[in-house]
């Protein structure tokens, strides 16, 4: 588990498993702003993954990671913490607040054998879903920058198609079916490729072992997951 550090102005917190923030919370943003919820949001450790939850009823939280990934959380929604560091911002009345966060060491993903339900807004996502070989082949190309820490723009669907010698339509359809398998219809953070990659990597559904097996860019690659020993 990667220790989480949260900072607001001169206050620094290293929560064990929970940290709320708001007008009257573990981290007090502003005790005099009546527009601010008593507990506007919360960082929560689930398994080995830190999550951000919107605990308010009216305000929205915006999480922006240092690699440029962005997610807006409506009331009641939650998401895995993005990247290794970032900022959570919210606006209450005339005032904007920004809370910084970072993970002190690389996060350890949940085992792909672990299955559990986590509430995302009003929707339940089941973790531990096993990817098909074709899904894994396509996703490992998409996630290679995130897995290696290089970052940068994600490969396009056309790049994935070229890598595996399939049509762009095959890639489009496969990734769309994967999204449908991983989410209920209103879990919006899976709609972008960036959010899909962050989710899959954070939950251990695609790993460095998968990338090493695929041998992308190697003379004897790519190597499909379909022939990988169990």
The tally of domains found in the chain comes to: 2
- Does residue 108 fall inside a structural domain? no
Q: Do residue 84 and residue 122 come from a single domain?
A: no
- The answer to whether the peptide bond before residue 222 is cis (omega within 30 degrees of 0) is yes
Q: Do residue 135 and residue 187 come from a single domain?
A: yes
Domain encompassing residue 191? 116-227
Q: Do residue 153 and residue 91 come from a single domain?
A: no
Contact 131, 206 (CB under 8 A): yes
So what's the pLDDT on residue 14?
94
So what's the pLDDT on residue 49?
87
Span 23-79, pLDDT tens digits: 999 999 999 999 999 999 999 998 888 999 999 888 889 998 877 778 888 888 888
Segment 144-162 shows an average pLDDT of: 87
Chain centre to alpha carbon of residue 203: 8
User: Residue 169 corresponds to which tokens in the numbers above?
Assistant: 């339509």
Which range is least confidently modeled, 148-152, 184-188, 217-221?
A: 184-188
The residue ranking higher by pLDDT, 145 or 192, is: 145
> Is 146 exposed, middle or buried, given 0-12, 13-18 or 19+ CB atoms closer than 10 A?
buried
165 sits in the region (left: phi over 0; alpha: psi -120 to 50; else beta) called left
- Does residue 110 fall inside a structural domain? no
């Amino acid at each position: 588990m990667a220790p989480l550090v949260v900072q607001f102005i001169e206050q620094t917190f290293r929560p064990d498993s929970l940290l709320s923030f708001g007008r009257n919370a573990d981290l007090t943003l502003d005790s005099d702003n009546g527009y601010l919820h008593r507990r506007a949001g919360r960082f929560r450790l689930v398994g080995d993954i830190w999550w951000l939850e919107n605990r308010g009823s009216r305000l929205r939280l915006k999480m922006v990671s240092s690699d440029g990934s962005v997610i807006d959380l409506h009331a009641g929604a939650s998401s895995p913490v993005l990247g290794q560091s970032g900022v959570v911002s919210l606006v209450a009345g005339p005032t904007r607040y920004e809370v910084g966060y970072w993970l002190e060491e690389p996060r350890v993903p949940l085992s792909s054998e672990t299955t559990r339900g986590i509430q995302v807004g009003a929707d339940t996502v089941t973790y531990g879903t096993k990817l098909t070989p074709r899904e894994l082949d396509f996703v490992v190309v998409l996630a290679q920058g995130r897995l290696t820490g290089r970052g940068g723009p994600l490969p396009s669907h056309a790049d994935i198609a070229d890598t595996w010698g399939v049509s762009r339509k095959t890639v489009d359809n496969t990734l769309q079916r994967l999204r449908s398998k991983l989410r209920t219809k209103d879990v919006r953070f899976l709609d972008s490729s960036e959010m899909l990659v962050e989710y899959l990597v954070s939950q251990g559904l695609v790993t460095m072992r998968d990338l090493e097996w695929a041998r992308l860019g190697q003379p004897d690659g790519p190597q499909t997951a379909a022939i990988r020993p169990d």
